[in-house]
Amino acid sequence: MAFKDNTLTFSDNQIWDPVCSMEVMMNWEAPIMEKSAEFICHNSGDILEIGFGMGICSDYIQAQGVNSHTIIEIHPQILERLNTWAIGKSNVTVIEGDWNSVSGLGTYDGIFFDTFMDENYDNFKDFALARIKSGGKITYWNNFEKEDNPYAFDSVSYEQVSVIPEDNYYTKIQSNYYMPKVEI
């Protein structure tokens, strides 16, 4: 069963996927989301965010005062929350569907890739390189407490972000997040 078909439960501090028996996102990630937003919003330009989740990163991106903020979301329950969140935000464009097949995308100064149980991951590198502007910056969720380049970008550097994770089942991050930084 695909993630988009799973019925999620939402609470103040997390999204839970009962089919996968694990959290989708938790609010202890806020420092990671803040740093990721700062990185991709380097010139306050056009930003593509893939995966809305709890909207933590989206808030930080908005706080950067970017020119445009495009968000792709596939899960219907999260999409409903995203649409509510987007009300009144004139620089936000919501695109429903799978990032791997949606239309209507442009080119961007920053891209944040943060999906859950995503089987199309092999396509992300080509997808991102086709849509990032010269001088643009890309980051992605790194589930391990170490340097990890699963999408095979030619060059990735890492910045450590201190975190205090709550108990969870979806990541082995203990105290340091290795934020991947792809700079075009």
Partner 1 sequence: MTIYPTIDGYVSRNAESTWADAHETLTGDQASSNITFSNVGIRASLAPPGRGGGYYVSRCFFSFNTTGVTHVPKAGRLYIYGRTNGNINVVHTVKATSDIESAITTADFDSIQDWDPRGDFTGAATYYGTNTGGWSTGGYNTIILRQNALLDIAGQDRLNICLLAQRDIDNTGGSFPPPGSTDYNGLYFEDSTGTSRNPYLDITQQDDAVFFGANF
CA dihedral 68, 73, 79, 85 (to 10 degrees): -30
Query: Is the Cβ–Cβ distance between 104 and 95 less than 8 Å?
Result: yes
Residue 162 CA to its chain's centroid (Å): 18
Verify binding: residue 52, partner 1, rule CB under 8 A: no
24 binds partner 1 (CB under 8 A): yes
Helix, strand or coil for residue 20?
coil
CB of residue 144 to partner 1, shortest distance in Å: 4
Q: Could you say which of 7, 18, 89, 174 contacts partner 1 (CB under 8 A)?
A: 18
92-96 vs 68-73, strand pairing mode: parallel
Site for partner 1 in 83-142 (CB under 8 A): 113-119, 121, 140-141
Size of site (CB under 8 A) for partner 1: 29
Cα gap 16→1, rounded to integer Å: 16
CA distance 150 to 169: 20
Q: Does 174 bind partner 1 (CB under 8 A)?
A: no
Among the residue ranges 15-23, 32-40, 76-84, 87-95, the one whose residues contact partner 1 (CB under 8 A) = 15-23
Give the residue with the Cβ less far from partner 1, 44 or 144.
144
Q: Which positions touch partner 1 (CB under 8 A)?
A: 1, 18-22, 24-25, 51, 113-119, 121, 140-141, 143-144, 146, 148, 150-151, 169-172
